Structure 1
Amino acid sequence: MIRPILEEKSLKVALFQFMFPFSLHADCQEEMKQQLEKDGFIPFALGNLELETAFYGEGYKVSHLNLERYYLPFTNSVIFPHKLTEDVFQRYSKRLEFDCELHMNGDAYTIRIHSLDVWLCPFDLGFINIRVELPCEELNYSQALEIVNRFRVLQNMKDENEQLRIVKDQKDYDEVEDFIFEMLVPGILTFLDKSNLQDSYFEKLPYFEDERMYVLGMVSFTDGCEISPVDLYRGSRADGLDQQGNPYTSSSNMDYIQRYVGAHTYDRWGPDTLYVMEETSFVCLTNQSAEITTAIGNHIYGAYYYGVLINLFNRIVLLKLSNRYSHVQLDQNQDEIDDLIRSITIFSARYYFLEVASQPQGKEIFLQLRNHMGIDGLFAEVKKTLADLYKYQENFTAKRSNYLLMILTIYTVISGIYGMNQVIEDLKGPIDWSKMKEYSVFEYIAMGVTFSGMTIALALGITTLRRLIKEIRKRR
């Protein structure tokens, strides 16, 4: 078995974005938007060209015109809406431009945080995106990956000597989640939905998969530096340093690394620019000139960022729908079943994009991302869930209709033939209740059937009216 050879490499640029999904309380978006604007966040609008250079650091620019052309019109209507409503992606951004210190392994590293995005999305889903730049004059490739590996972990679950501490304005944060929700976005913690954590012992936030943030990044090596399969593998897995401070890789088998890289790499611009992607990361490695590196960085902040966001949204919503299906009480909660059917149908029709990009490379990268996130498989399971729900609903409706028809038939026969002939005359005009003292047993039965039938009919009418009003409200 051939073991991988680990070499230290110098860097020119290291840009990373850390994306954290969270679940929101229902119907809280308007209040949350007010809080975000109070905290200094700006609603993002594609038509506002002043924002092209506002959030990405010195020298980087995201062309809004090119961004709109990159995606297809039906995708643009969702991710670049003219009006911020709950059925579209709503982006709020804040420029930060400050440095903080990361303490780990006995060393301190300075990083620059450029800006922050908070996304409010359909299905009560949100995202936080943090843009970070690492000082390449102070770091090598292994150290940069180690910073990424530590910073992406929201809760410290490792040994004490493997934990990360963040220092900003002489205040220490022992966990990344504390730094995010106390320093970066202190106003949104109350809006997070933690209802799914009742059965958890250690989780404190509503993670969908684990405690790690998704990483979207670009690393530029010095000009002409060869990019090896080991570099790609380590970049994808964020393999930085071992406990002794030496370069680390999570695989000792070079054959495995070759197979992994072959399956996860997009090499249209290889061997000088390569993209490697998997379920939790999307990283570009390049050794091109500064001008080309800047252009790649613009794409990472622009078109590729939105492509990753769409795929993450699709994956998490599908996981969320699957989780809801597993908790539905089929025999007890018909309203929840109806709501789940409606949610799956809306997602399939409006948000599940088979193609999003207009350019060939965009289509290829988007499809490869979706493949590595397993979105098509999740969607197939959800579609099967929808078929099962429709079948159950059809059987339930047929059974309920049969029961209702049987009850109404009984009431019709008894009250129409028996009741009408015995007590109907006494119920005309002013009712003389004293006559009921002389009723026989059969007349009492007839009167009881008549009044109970009227009560049931009134109850059915009220129930139907309530369901109709609820349906109208949900459609709005």
Structure 2
Amino acid sequence: MPIRPGAQVQAHWEVLEQETAENPWRELLDEFTPDGKQFQLRHYSEFVTFLPYVQRFIYGESRERKDSGNRDEEPGSSPMRVYRRHDITSARVITRAGEPPIVLSIAHIDLYFFYDIDVVLLNVEVSCDDLTLVQAQELLYRFGRAYPAGWDERGDGLHCLHSLEWITADGTVLAASDSADRDKFLSFVAEHRAPRVSSHWAFLLKPLLLDHADPNAAIRYRQIEFYRMPVMGLLAVAEPRAISRNDFIRLGLVIGASDAEALPYSDRHVADFEQRYCDDRFWCNVGPSPNTRYLASGQALIVVGDAQSKYFLHPDVGVLAQFRHQHFLLFLIAHFQRAALLMFADRLAEALKRLDLNSSDSVNRFRRAIRQNFEIFLRFSHRYWFHEISEQTQARSLFDLTVNHLKLDSLYGEVKDRIYSMDQYLVSDSGRRHTNTVLRLTVVTTFGLIGTVSTGFIGMNLIGLTDILLIEKIIFFFIIFLPTAFLTFYTIVKSRRLSDFLDVLSDEQVSAREKFIALLDVWRKKKVVED
């Protein structure tokens, strides 16, 4: 939500730069330091994966240009800003009632902001060893739920974790989930007509607050995507080939654990699962990382590989490094593009909702909002919208799979048509108002011409009217006024034919005879041709 009403660029991250006790977020500076000590091999591999225009989007340009002035306004600065909190080190979760707790290690908790686009993306990276396949499936399915979809007969939230606790390094519980508190969610929706975010996610995002929860908060956000967050997962298993097709379908579509012998959907629905969702270029027994399968469904990117392979789990050059760096960024870019497009669609709907045709102020605000969104969309198209991000075959394939499943091209076309149709309406409306203004000015000029000619003739002093009576002056005025008015209105009546005559007169290729005929046509009666 905007923090500067009327401004096109909303630098929301400036609020996070205020170091207070209530603000745990700190800006994460990149590894591109002048001495290069923080720049590792994995960072280099990540950098060279992307095409130059994508590199400028992610990393910006040279540091000399960054240091030359305001970072946000310099052409060399990166339009992506990252903020990280360091107070949470682990999460204790229970997937279902009666299941044992699982402790997840927290690697990163980041907020991604983008210059000129009012979108923020939350990234939570967790890891855990010695999980069963069922536990992994349940975590992927239940972890990223902003709120419960409903409640079962026992009062537990549907499709979400039974419980989650954010824990510090000394074991202090900072926040816990409240998905079982049905009354809180029901009353919030009844009051605000908007969903309530679960307490553990709300705590994680502070000082960002839900728009409906606190309209006076410094930074307010509104849910723009589905309540189920996009998820990435890397699973290192002892025998990848032992995983059944049914389980791969559950992993790829993030369905959750169930009977391993039964398909989650009908045979017809998943008949082409491998063609639509799998990248199997490394699903073989040879190569540095054999039996590695990539599954991309748009909302999920899952990698399954051999835990015995050193390359698969290598933190600098292996699949793990690629997953945490290159694959994460391409997944982030695709979902950022989708979120930005949904933001534009939401803004158009909001502008239409606030439009009151009976209020000139409301109409003017609507015009400004549409014009502003049109300008921002143009900048988004040139700065952030691209179809290809890499020439590396695998990165390009995964990005294409993600983009196609998210249907970004059709969404972009739909939003573009909406914005351009709105802008075209404003252009036509402006042209209509301009035409009306010209018409009114023409009417005023036409009637003013009569008085101007009349008074001008009298003012030429061709007739001595100084010493005559007033009644005689009025008579002389009407003697000039009446024929002038008649000639003016007669000219208006014949204006279309006179216009045609002037067009012929100005044409150098028309003979003098044809020009004379065109003059006569001004007074000739047109023949009516009847069918």
Q: Secondary structure at the match of 2:251?
A: helix
Instruction: Say if 1:267 and 1:275, in contact at 8 Å, map to a contact too.
Output: yes
Judged with a 3 Å threshold, the aligned counterparts in structure 2 of structure 1 residues 228 and 36 are, in CA distance, closer, same or farther, namely farther
In 2, distance between residues paired with 1:119 and 1:268? 32
Shift of 1:158: 3.2
The two structures have a TM-score, normalised by structure 2, of 0.64
Question: What is the match of residue 385 of structure 1?
Answer: 418
Cα distance, 1:140 vs structure 2? 0.4
TM-aligned CA deviation for residue 415 of structure 1: 5.8
When residues 161 and 178 of structure 1 are mapped into structure 2, their CA distance, relative to the original with a 3 A threshold, is: closer
Q: CA deviation at 1:252?
A: 4.4
- Alignment partners' CA distance in 2, 1:393 and 1:382: 17
Equivalence for 1:348: 381
1:211 to 200, 223, 227: 227
How far did 1:261 drift? Answer: 3.3
SS in 2 for 1:337: helix
Paired AA for residue 67 in structure 1:
E
Change in 2 beyond 3 A, CA 1:387/1:179: closer
Matching residue within 275, 283, 286 for 2:302: 283
Q: Is the 8 A contact 1:273 1:288 kept in 2?
A: no
Q: Which residue of 2 aligns with 1:339?
A: 372
**In the alignment, which residue of structure 2 is the partner of 1:451?**
none
1:239–1:249 CA contact under 8 A, matched in 2 = no
Residues 97 and 287 of structure 1: CA distance in aligned 2, closer, same or farther (over 3 Å):
farther
Matches for 1:74-473 after TM superposition, within 5 Å: 74-81=53-60, 83=66, 84-85=71-72, 88-95=79-86, 98-103=89-94, 104-107=96-99, 108-121=101-114, 122-134=116-128, 136-137=129-130, 139-159=131-151, 160-162=155-157, 163-167=161-165, 168=167, 169-170=172-173, 172-175=176-179, 177-182=198-203, 184-189=204-209, 193=211, 206-223=222-239, 225-241=241-257, 251-271=264-284, 272-287=291-306, 289-294=308-313, 295-329=318-352, 332=363, 333-413=366-446, 418=451
Q: Is it true that 1:73 corresponds to 2:52 in the alignment?
A: yes
RMSD across aligned C-alpha pairs, in angstroms?
3.3
Could you tell me how far 1:349 is from its partner in structure 2? Answer: 1.9
Q: Aligned equivalents of 2:345 and 2:263: distance in 1?
A: 31
Counterparts in 2 of 1:416 and 1:93: CA distance versus 1, 3 Å: farther
Contact 2:246 2:260 in 1 (8 A): no
For the residue of structure 2 that corresponds to 1:291, the secondary structure is: coil
Q: Distance in 1 between matches of 2:19 and 2:302?
A: 30
Shift of 1:24: 6.0
Structure 1: unaligned runs, 5 residues or longer: 1-22, 53-60, 198-203, 423-476
Equivalent-residue separation in structure 1 for 2:3 and 2:38 (angstroms): 30
Seq. identity, %: 19
Decide whether aligned partners of structure 1 residues 133 and 36 sit closer, same or farther in structure 2, where only a CA change above 3 A counts: farther
8 A Cα contact 1:142 1:247, kept in partner = no
- Partner of 1:124: helix, strand, or coil? strand
Distance of 2:26 and 2:135 partners within structure 1: 32
Cα pair 1:234 1:240 within 8 Å, conserved: yes
Q: What's the secondary structure of 1:302's corresponding residue?
A: helix
- Is the aligned partner of 1:32 residue 2:26? no
Q: 1:361 to 1:24 in 2, by over 3 A?
A: farther
Q: Structure 2: how far apart are the matches of 1:24 and 1:223?
A: 51
Distance 2:37 2:321 in 1: 16
C-alpha separation in 2, matches of 1:223 and 1:62: 29
Q: Which has the larger radius of gyration?
A: 2
Cα deviations by residue, 1:399-420 (Å, 9 ceiling, x for unpaired): 1111111223344455676489
Deviation at 1:118, TM superposition (A): 0.7
Tell me the TM-score normalized by structure 1.
0.70
Residues 353 and 215 (structure 1 numbering): CA distance in 2 closer, same or farther, change over 3 Å? same
Task: Determine the structure 1 residue equivalent to 2:7.
Answer: none
CA distance in structure 1 between the aligned counterparts of 2:120 and 2:86, rounded to whole angstroms: 19
1:362, CA displacement in angstroms? 1.7
Q: Taking structure 1 as reference, are residues 387 and 298 closer, same or farther at Cα in structure 2, changes over 3 Å only?
A: same
- Rounded to whole Å, the distance in 1 between the matches of 2:19 and 2:200 is 17
Structure 2 CA distance for aligned equivalents of residues 174 and 185 of structure 1: 16
Residue identity opposite 1:378 in structure 2:
L
Partner of 1:434: none
Verify the 8 A CA contact 2:250 2:264 in the aligned structure 1: no
1:337 offset after TM fit, Å? Answer: 2.3
Q: 1:217 to 1:274 in 2, by over 3 A?
A: same
1:116 Cα deviation (Å)?
1.1
Specify the SS of the correspondent of 2:149.
coil
Separation of aligned partners in 1, 2:236 and 2:278 = 16
Partners of 1:420 and 1:248 in 2: CA distance: 99
- Please state how far the C-alpha of 1:280 moved relative to its aligned partner: 1.4
3-state SS, counterpart of residue 117 of structure 2: coil
With over 3 angstroms needed to count, the CA separation of the structure-2 counterparts of 1:413 and 1:248, relative to structure 1, is: farther
Distance 1:280 1:359 in 2: 22
In structure 2, what is the equivalent of residue 437 of structure 1? none
Distance 1:421 1:291 in 2: 101
Q: Which runs of 5+ in 2 are unaligned?
A: 5-9, 180-196, 285-290, 358-362, 456-531
Q: Is the 8 A contact 2:252 2:300 kept in 1?
A: yes
Give me the whole-angstrom Cα distance separating, in 1, the residues matched to 2:134 and 2:246. Answer: 12
After the TM superposition, which of the residue ranges 297-306 and 143-152 deviates more from structure 2? 143-152
CA distance in 2, matches of 1:342, 1:66: 35
1:193, distance to aligned residue in structure 2 (A): 4.7
| Higher relative contact order, structure no. (Cα contacts within 8 Å, ≥ 6 residues apart) | 1
1:196-254 alpha-carbon deviations (Å, 9 max, x no partner):
x9xxxxxx972223211110111111146434432321112333345xxx669772434
Q: Whose helix proportion is higher, 1 or 2? A: 1
Q: Which AA in structure 2 matches 1:317?
A: A
**4+ residue segments displaced more than 6 Å:** 419-422
Inter-CA distance 105–389: structure 2 relative to 1 (3 Å threshold): same
Tell me how many residue pairs correspond in the alignment.
379
Contact kept in structure 2, 1:115 and 1:130, CA below 8 Å: yes
Which amino acid is the alignment partner of residue 119 of structure 1?
A: Y
